[in-house]
Chain A
Amino acid sequence: MVLNNAVWRTIKEQKGQYVGLILIIILACFGFVSFGMLGTNLQTVCDAYAKQTVQEDLQFETMQSLGDLRAIGDAVHATIEESRSYDEVFEGRTLRVFSENHSVNRPALLEGTPLSDGHILIDPQYAKSNTLRIGDPLTVAGKHFEIAGFVALADYTYITKNASDLINDSKSFGVAVITRNDFSANVQADSIRYVVKFLDGSKDVFTQGALLKKYLREHRIGIDYANWSYALNNARINTPVLKTKSVKAFSAVMPIMLLLASCVMIGLIVRRLIKTQAGQIGTLYALGYRKSELIRHYLRYPLVISVVGAVVGTILGIWVYPTLLIYYLAYFPMPIESATLVPGIIAWGLILPFMLLIPFSFFVIWNILKSSPISLMRGEMSVRKPSWLERSLKLGKVSFSLKFMLREQLRSLPQLFFLMVAIAFVTVFLNVGMIIKHSFDALASEGIKSTFDYQYEYLFKQPIQSPVPSGTEPLDVVFVQSDQNKQQQIELIGIQERSSFIHLLDGEGNPLDVDHQDAVILSKSLVKSLHADVGSFITFTETNVTDKSFTLKVTAITTSPTGAQVFVPLATLNQIVGLPFGSYAVLISNYGNVPVSKDQRYTMRSLHESSGNMQNMLQQVMAAVYVMMFVSILIALVLIYVIASITVQENQAQISLMKVFGYRMHEIKSMILNPSGVGVVLGYMLGIPVTLYVTQGVYQQIMDSMNLTMSIQVNGWYFLVGFVLVYGTFECSKLMCISRISRVSMSETLMVGRE
């Protein structure tokens, strides 16, 4: 059909619009395919890794050796293995060296040769940060080893020094493994843990764990186990799994949103196109063309756009996802054979744009082409009736430019609405990262520091009763669970009255203290998960040692950024768990050289380190935030430009007329293009509360995963900067439209009514 030759010509004439639209679809398909395949590949890698290494379900420590592991394993349907490690500390760096495991958490070789005596395998992140290469020598406990290769350890997929650390710092901490022979011959283990793989697939790990615990207790084996930690709650193990989930969610949500935006845009563009060609269409109708033929013709536009967008986006996605995979696996070292293409995702990537764009466009086209040929020919659609809204709008004395602006908006409400919603979304994406980053900063720099106001922790292996050295304060922590929420591990902390190191605040910012023996201060995060409040009674069960239950009455709630923690006086805690008066297991202090008697086994932990790590992580996060901001601005630019250029097209006759009447270029520009500014500004304003809502939700999720409570910290400046960016984008798109306006000729006006 003759019209079809016009498709390319039209696209070329309005290339800005179509290129913009194609860009969005490319972005959508790219996101879908690259992140989709990244997610699936990560999943595969995680699963294969868990299988290959026989990744643990549970780990714990005991005071005494468990003895015959096989017998226990047989009794509870599990494989249990000892995991010994030793911390080699030099120049402020710690390398945690493990003895090679054979049945649970088997080391996975990433590169190099398998382990043999005299050799050591180290984790690749530590190697890279400390420029260690295969073949280099490395000294552990005074003995020289040769680095035989790089390794991944199943219980250190996310490599952090302390189980509670949020961030890894590969410069100062790494893991390594040597053979059992080498380990027992040269090294004194400073940590012995048991790692467990449950074999009964019919029960969940928590149930099996409970059975194991029951068995141990009944047979009085081990006694006093500590750090009972399920893989599902262990950040070192579940972080990559959680990341995989969020990657997958992102790969679905973001592209769909972009595609929906493209739908609306193609709808607006095609509608504009058909209106411009209404006369032609009427003629074709009159000449006997069928409606279906015309619909098919106009469907070519979304078709062309979808084909180009889907193909380019998918190819880009296929091309880029291995890089993303490598980038992710650099943080979570796991062996990978090769990145595998997922045909299903590629197919969906190719189909998705069509599935959304074609039906939507069909509906729009069909709806417009319903008009009779005669009315199409008369161009009745272009001289449309003013809506009742426009008619009822009485603008008396206001300035003409304001009237004009309002009229323009009323005339194109769908565009205004779309622009507002789109800009609101952009606003969210633009600001979410910044606010979260800022909130983290506040949490790290003020929140946590001002609550736990000390530098060092001395963690004893066992509660002791020695006198408390000066410049320190004693405390003790026991792990409990509540009947309300059995999965959550809660820390019951006994602290000193009028503590000078721990400062808890209530919701109004007043200090709270455990100033009487029944004082029970609950952290805000527990209020939600335990459905408790001041005055509630909560029954806790001590989980590590005694399995004793007791009931506490909440006397206050603290909103300080603490974890899932309950604070009571130290004396009360000792009484509850049956320890002698004056016992403690932790000393906190601002001094790093507190005299602790030699025979007490303890580890010292510096809080400095973790805040340094936090800074590191924030830098990584910032990179992601900037990328997100850049992409948002790009999307905003395309959206605003497409809307602006449709506006120019729609107003061609008017622009031409304004030129005839002697309007200056800048006047025309501002009258035609500034009205869209209303949508931009309104959209941004609409976006602010949405941003706050979304950010609070996202932040809450992060806080929940860290067992912290804290609300977002909003800095008005960020919104201002965001606004400047969005408005700048709007100004940019205006600049891009100027040439289109100057191209409108005055003869446009004169053509009509000729002949």
Chain B
Amino acid sequence: MFIQVDRATKRYKSGDVETIGIQQATLELAKGDIGVILGPSGSGKSTLLNMIGGIDRVDSGKIIINGINICAMHEKELTEYRRKQVGFIFQAYHLISHLTVQENIEMISQISENPLPMDHVLSAVGLTDKANRFPRELSGGEQQRVAIARSVIKNPQVLLCDEITGALDYASSIQVLEMIQEINRTYGTTVLLITHNQAIAAMANNVYQFRSGEVTEVRTNSQPVDARGIVW
């Protein structure tokens, strides 16, 4: 298995109040597969994704990526892990407003060992002619495509997508999902995608149902559909 999460638990303390992020969550995903995490708001989906992405640490349990337990890593090793293996895409795009589209992407390519060619990536997300625009001058869908290009240019092993269609209209959403699928097919990138839109689950190999910090159900699709064919 490429991604193995074994009874991972994370609690947040603020003052006397303790909230459960995830509780004994267990999950597995094979290399090159797409996994979709479904679940209500506050059920711990993002928490889990952040643990897998190495931006937060579990209290207990194990997270093994490509055979290596990232929970045992030092801060510096975690940085290297994020730098070399992980691509992140967020609902809120998080582009840097005073850098152009191309510069936003370059910001990642310049720290990658084997970045994909810039032209290639730009045209893959259909933004070749907008490379010199600033984020403010783009639509939401376009901005999310910049974020995709940015996370993909380093050719990551794992692509983590947190509600990336949450703020987009239907057409833009489908476009974005198609791109994710395309990346998965072309580069064999393992994709873990959070959504609370049931329909999107159709494109996954594995679907994980989350409830109160736990994976309550795992389904396997033998025949994932093309993103283009998803309707809601």
Binding site for B on A (CB under 8 A): 383-386, 390-391, 394-395, 399-401, 403-404, 407-408, 410-411, 653-654, 657-665, 667, 746-747, 749-750, 752-755
Contacts and interface: CB of A to CB of B under 8 A. Distances in A.
Interface in B28-65: 41, 46, 50, 53, 55-56
29 contacts: A383-B136, A386-B98, A386-B136, A390-B98, A391-B134, A394-B132, A400-B110, A403-B99, A403-B103, A404-B99, A404-B107, A407-B98, A407-B99, A407-B103, A654-B96, A658-B107, A659-B55, A659-B79, A661-B108, A661-B111, A662-B83, A662-B84, A664-B76, A664-B79, A665-B79, A749-B94, A753-B90, A753-B166, A753-B167
Interface string B103-136: 1001110110000000000000000000010101
Contacts of A659: 55, 79
A399 B103 CA distance: 10
Nearest to B133: A391
Contacts of B221: none
Given A661-B83, A750-B46, A400 B97 contact: no
Given A660-B82, A746-B55, A383 B97 contact: yes
Contacts of A664: 76, 79, 83
What range describes how many residues of B lie at the interface? Answer: 35 or more
B226 interface: no
A667 B98 CA distance: 19
Contacts of B53: 660
Given A383-B97, A746-B56, A750-B46, 20 more contacts: A394-B132, A395-B103, A399-B110, A400-B110, A408-B98, A657-B96, A658-B107, A660-B53, A660-B55, A661-B107, A662-B79, A662-B80, A662-B82, A662-B84, A664-B76, A746-B55, A749-B94, A753-B90, A753-B91, A753-B163
A752 B92 contact: yes
Given A385-B136, A662-B80, A750 B50 contact: yes
Nearest to B41: A755
B210 interface: no
Interface in B59-89: 76, 79-84, 86, 88
B134 A400 contact: no
A42 B99 CA distance: 59
A654 B90 CA distance: 14
Contacts of A750: 46, 50, 55, 90
Nearest to B98: A411
A752 B111 CA distance: 25
B111 A404 contact: no
Given A403-B103, A654-B96, A661 B90 contact: no
Nearest to B46: A750
Contact of A386 (B46, B76, B97, B110): B97
Contacts of A654: 96
Nearest to A382: B97
A275 to B, nearest CB: 13
A458 B80 CA distance: 84
Interface of B: 41, 46, 50, 53, 55-56, 76, 79-84, 86, 88, 90-92, 94, 96-99, 103, 106-108, 110-111, 132, 134, 136, 163, 166-167
A270 to B, nearest CB: 22
Nearest to A662: B83
A329 B44 CA distance: 76
Nearest to A651: B96
Interface of chain A, helix or strand or loop or mixed?
A: helix
Contacts of B110: 399-401
Contacts of B99: 403-404, 407
Among A658, A750, A755, the one with the most B-chain Cβ atoms within 10 Å of its Cβ is A750
Nearest to B92: A753
Contacts of A404: 99, 103, 107
A675 to B, nearest CB: 12
Given A403-B103, A407-B103, A384 B79 contact: no
Contacts of B79: 659, 662-665
Among B84, B99, B103, B136, the one with the most A-chain Cβ atoms within 10 Å of its Cβ is B99
Contacts of A747: 55-56
Contacts of A749: 90, 94
Contact of A663 (B103, B111, B163): B111
A100 to B, nearest CB: 80
Contacts of B134: 386, 390-391
A721 B89 CA distance: 49
A666 to B, nearest CB: 11
Among A410, A654, A662, the one with the most B-chain Cβ atoms within 10 Å of its Cβ is A662
A108 to B, nearest CB: 69
A663 B56 contact: no
Contacts of A395: 103
A8 to B, nearest CB: 20
B46 A662 contact: no
A203 to B, nearest CB: 71
B111 A667 contact: yes
A109 B106 CA distance: 80
A741 B168 CA distance: 33
Given A746-B55, A750-B55, A657 B94 contact: yes
